[in-house]
Amino acid sequence: MKQLLLVFVGGGIGSTARYFVSKLLNNSQVLPLGTMLVNVVGSFLIGAILGYAIKQPTQQNLVLLLATGFCGGFTTFSTFAYENQLLLKSGDYTSFLFYTFGSVIAGLIAVFLGILLVKYL
Protein backbone atom coordinates (compact mmCIF):
# COMPACT_ATOMS: atom_id res chain seq x y z
CA MET A 1 0.00 0.00 0.00
CA LYS A 2 2.89 2.35 0.78
CA GLN A 3 4.31 1.82 -2.72
CA LEU A 4 0.97 2.66 -4.33
CA LEU A 5 0.74 5.84 -2.25
CA LEU A 6 4.26 6.89 -3.33
CA VAL A 7 3.37 6.52 -7.02
CA PHE A 8 0.05 8.32 -6.45
CA VAL A 9 1.63 11.31 -4.71
CA GLY A 10 4.53 11.56 -7.18
CA GLY A 11 2.17 11.30 -10.15
CA GLY A 12 -0.09 14.02 -8.78
CA ILE A 13 2.81 16.39 -8.26
CA GLY A 14 4.24 15.58 -11.69
CA SER A 15 0.91 16.09 -13.44
CA THR A 16 0.39 19.42 -11.69
CA ALA A 17 3.88 20.57 -12.66
CA ARG A 18 3.24 19.54 -16.29
CA TYR A 19 -0.02 21.49 -16.32
CA PHE A 20 1.70 24.69 -15.17
CA VAL A 21 4.62 24.36 -17.60
CA SER A 22 2.25 23.66 -20.49
CA LYS A 23 0.01 26.60 -19.59
CA LEU A 24 3.05 28.86 -19.40
CA LEU A 25 4.80 27.75 -22.60
CA ASN A 26 2.20 26.26 -24.97
CA ASN A 27 1.16 29.68 -26.21
CA SER A 28 3.21 29.40 -29.39
CA GLN A 29 1.35 28.93 -32.65
CA VAL A 30 4.29 26.98 -34.08
CA LEU A 31 5.36 24.35 -31.56
CA PRO A 32 3.98 23.10 -28.25
CA LEU A 33 7.19 24.01 -26.43
CA GLY A 34 5.79 23.25 -22.98
CA THR A 35 5.11 19.63 -23.85
CA MET A 36 8.48 19.29 -25.51
CA LEU A 37 10.21 20.81 -22.48
CA VAL A 38 8.48 18.55 -19.93
CA ASN A 39 9.26 15.47 -21.99
CA VAL A 40 12.96 16.37 -22.36
CA VAL A 41 13.35 17.49 -18.73
CA GLY A 42 11.44 14.41 -17.58
CA SER A 43 13.76 12.23 -19.65
CA PHE A 44 16.78 13.85 -18.01
CA LEU A 45 15.27 13.42 -14.55
CA ILE A 46 14.41 9.76 -15.06
CA GLY A 47 17.94 9.13 -16.32
CA ALA A 48 19.39 10.82 -13.23
CA ILE A 49 16.98 9.07 -10.85
CA LEU A 50 17.55 5.61 -12.32
CA GLY A 51 21.29 6.27 -12.55
CA TYR A 52 21.21 7.07 -8.83
CA ALA A 53 19.17 3.92 -8.17
CA ILE A 54 21.91 1.85 -9.80
CA LYS A 55 24.39 3.29 -7.29
CA GLN A 56 21.95 3.04 -4.37
CA PRO A 57 19.76 -0.04 -5.02
CA THR A 58 18.15 0.24 -1.58
CA GLN A 59 16.32 3.42 -2.64
CA GLN A 60 13.36 1.72 -4.35
CA ASN A 61 10.78 3.90 -2.58
CA LEU A 62 12.52 7.00 -3.95
CA VAL A 63 12.44 5.47 -7.44
CA LEU A 64 8.70 4.80 -7.11
CA LEU A 65 8.01 8.35 -5.91
CA LEU A 66 10.22 10.18 -8.41
CA ALA A 67 10.69 8.00 -11.51
CA THR A 68 7.42 6.09 -11.67
CA GLY A 69 5.27 8.73 -9.98
CA PHE A 70 6.63 12.20 -10.70
CA CYS A 71 8.23 11.51 -14.10
CA GLY A 72 5.28 9.36 -15.15
CA GLY A 73 2.90 12.20 -14.34
CA PHE A 74 5.18 14.97 -15.60
CA THR A 75 5.93 13.57 -19.04
CA THR A 76 3.22 12.87 -21.56
CA PHE A 77 3.30 10.75 -24.66
CA SER A 78 -0.43 11.06 -25.32
CA THR A 79 -0.28 14.86 -25.50
CA PHE A 80 2.84 14.60 -27.67
CA ALA A 81 0.98 12.29 -30.09
CA TYR A 82 -2.11 14.53 -30.17
CA GLU A 83 -0.07 17.67 -30.83
CA ASN A 84 1.72 15.89 -33.67
CA GLN A 85 -1.65 14.97 -35.13
CA LEU A 86 -2.66 18.65 -34.99
CA LEU A 87 0.54 19.70 -36.79
CA LEU A 88 -0.08 17.13 -39.53
CA LYS A 89 -3.73 18.12 -39.83
CA SER A 90 -2.74 21.77 -40.28
CA GLY A 91 -0.21 20.82 -42.96
CA ASP A 92 2.74 22.16 -40.97
CA TYR A 93 5.10 19.34 -41.89
CA THR A 94 8.26 21.25 -40.98
CA SER A 95 7.08 21.82 -37.40
CA PHE A 96 5.85 18.22 -37.24
CA LEU A 97 9.26 16.86 -38.23
CA PHE A 98 11.16 19.19 -35.91
CA TYR A 99 8.84 18.50 -32.97
CA THR A 100 8.74 14.74 -33.45
CA PHE A 101 12.40 14.09 -34.11
CA GLY A 102 13.60 16.90 -31.85
CA SER A 103 11.59 15.54 -28.92
CA VAL A 104 12.71 11.95 -29.41
CA ILE A 105 16.38 12.76 -29.98
CA ALA A 106 16.53 15.35 -27.20
CA GLY A 107 14.73 12.94 -24.86
CA LEU A 108 17.21 10.15 -25.55
CA ILE A 109 20.18 12.49 -25.11
CA ALA A 110 18.66 13.80 -21.86
CA VAL A 111 18.32 10.28 -20.42
CA PHE A 112 21.96 9.53 -21.23
CA LEU A 113 23.10 12.86 -19.76
CA GLY A 114 21.10 12.25 -16.59
CA ILE A 115 22.68 8.82 -16.14
CA LEU A 116 26.18 10.16 -16.87
CA LEU A 117 25.75 13.08 -14.50
CA VAL A 118 24.83 10.82 -11.60
CA LYS A 119 27.44 8.21 -12.53
CA TYR A 120 30.33 10.67 -12.32
CA LEU A 121 29.21 12.76 -9.34
The pLDDT of residue 27 is: 83
- Reading phi first (left if > 0) and then psi (alpha if -120 to 50, else beta), residue 80 is in alpha
Closest C-alpha to 10, from 95, 90, 75: 75
- Reading phi first (left if > 0) and then psi (alpha if -120 to 50, else beta), residue 28 is in beta
In which band, very low, low, confident or very high, does the pLDDT at 100 lie, cut at 50, 70 and 90?
A: very high
| 11 in a labelled binding site | no
Q: Is the pLDDT of residue 55 over 90?
A: no
In which band, very low, low, confident or very high, does the pLDDT at 89 lie, cut at 50, 70 and 90?
A: very high
For residue 46, give the DSSP letter: H
Q: Is the pLDDT of residue 29 over 90?
A: no
Mean pLDDT (the chain) is 93
28 C-beta neighbours (distance < 10 Å), count: 10
pTM confidence score = 0.88
**Average pLDDT of the segment spanning 68-88:** 94
Helix (H) or strand (E) holding 8: helix 2-25
Q: Is the pLDDT of residue 28 over 80?
A: no
| 72 in a labelled binding site | yes
